[in-house]
Amino acid sequence: MTPMSTEVSELRRRYVDALSTVEQASERTVIALDEIRRGWNVARELIATGRPLVELEQVLDPSPLRARLGEALATLERTRHDSQRLLFQLLHAEGQTLAEIGRTYGISRQLVSRLVNEPEPNSAG
């Protein structure tokens, strides 16, 4: 294999892994959102039946729900960013220009350049 095809193969493998990670983060986010939605329904029912909203704390613990949702959203955004960076690196390694990638994805060439040249999250860059 030539060095370029080795680089492209490695980027492809990493991008597929990143997509799996985004999918898992998406599923965790959906679960957290469903938990929050159930909490809203409980709160709505308490209010509609004239019961004090303070009873909500007896029915569910809102703090962990909020924390799980915040963590799930942060993880989803981080994994989405990492997968997008890998996608742009792969497209560029396959020969697309930064301008072409930017046009396709509706972002500036400068942003594409920043993402393509961004160091790996766990590198000591």
pLDDT in tens, 33-71: 999 999 889 889 988 999 888 888 888 888 899 999 999
Q: What is the pLDDT of residue 95?
A: 95
Q: According to the model, what pLDDT value does residue 58 have?
A: 83
Asked whether residue 110 carries a pLDDT value surpassing 90, the answer given is: yes
CA 93-94-97 angle, to 5 degrees, is: 75
Q: What does the pLDDT read at residue 52?
A: 86
Residue 124 lies in a domain: no
Give the integer Cα–Cα distance in Å for 96 and 74. Answer: 30
* Residue 123 resides in a domain: no
Q: State the residue range of the domain holding 42.
A: 3-117
Q: Is residue 30 over pLDDT 60?
A: yes
- Please give the tally of structural domains in the chain: 1
- pLDDT, residue 26, reads 98
Identify the pLDDT of residue 105: 97
In a domain, 41, yes or no: yes
Residue 4's pLDDT band, with cuts at 50, 70 and 90, is low
Residue 122, domain member (yes or no)? no
**119: which residues sit within 8 A by CB, 6+ positions away?**
125
- Asked if residue 33 is part of any domain, the answer here is yes
The Cα 103–Cα 92 span in angstroms is 13
**In contact, 32 and 72? CB cutoff 8 Å:** yes
Average pLDDT for 22-41: 95
Give the residue with greater pLDDT, 124 vs 13. 13
Residue 109: count other Cβ atoms within 10 Å of its Cβ.
Answer: 14
Give pLDDT, residue 20: 98
Mean pLDDT of the chain: 92
Domain annotation covers residue 9: yes
